[in-house]
A and B are shown apart, each in its own frame.
Chain A
């Protein structure tokens, strides 16, 4: 009954350090997403993956890379962290292409990773 699990929940980095945020879902969903949430900005899409083996850029991909390791896992990597990347990061998953027919929830979100870069 876990849904979408994100690790770690909190992290503090120094400028220039690298880090990988992990996300795993146990709902057998095909599509996975990474968002960042900043005050007053809502959620902005960083990258998404339609299915295992594919990734696409969202609205704010610069400074990030992703890996869709398998159907369950989708990781987000900061190669050289910058203070502007201080944010709360959310991972989400959804079923592939059929939410309007199944009426299932279009997206399930994890509880977020709070990342501070000094």
Chain B
């Protein structure tokens, strides 16, 4: 099945450091989404991007929708221990049935060392 290329696969960082991860695709998307998943729970939406070039922030998180519409990145500034988890990007596609479906990246596993 189709999946997005997400990198890095995992990262260990020190508390207080900034984090950057990105997602690329061979397909064009009209919407990019970034989710975080904590252990034993479902993904929770962090940021949604609706327009090429859009830069959106949510607290210490900043994400951008690439100009080509084939990529997106997520930055986390001044990481804290509770940032630990798996981060997923997702691209939104229309369907013939009139709703949207979502293609997910393979995830970036983040571990923060206190």
Contact = CB atoms under 8 A, between A and B. Distances in A.
B101 A107 contact: no
A112 B42 contact: yes
Which among A42, A54, A97 has the greatest number of chain B C-beta atoms within 10 A?
A42
Given A99-B48, A100-B31, A112-B41, A42 B98 contact: no
A60 B104 CA distance: 13
B43 interface: yes
**Interface residue tally on A, bucketed by range:** 20 to 34
Contact of B3 (A44, A92, A110, A111): A44
Contacts, number: 88
Interface stretch (A11-19, A45-53, A69-77, A79-87): A45-53
Contacts of A40: 9, 106-107
B33 A43 contact: no
Given A41-B106, A43-B43, A110-B42, A50 B33 contact: no
A106 interface: yes
Contacts of A111: 40-42
**What size tier do the contact residues of chain B reach?**
20 to 34
B63 to A, nearest CB: 14
B44 interface: yes
Contacts of B30: 100
Nearest to A55: B97
B42 A90 contact: yes
Closest 5 CB pairs of A and B: A59-B1, A109-B42, A50-B99, A50-B97, A43-B104
Interface of B: 1-4, 6, 9, 30-31, 33, 40-45, 48, 50, 88, 92, 95, 97-107
17 contacts: A35-B104, A43-B104, A45-B101, A48-B95, A51-B99, A54-B97, A59-B2, A96-B99, A99-B48, A100-B31, A105-B48, A106-B33, A106-B48, A106-B100, A109-B42, A109-B43, A111-B40
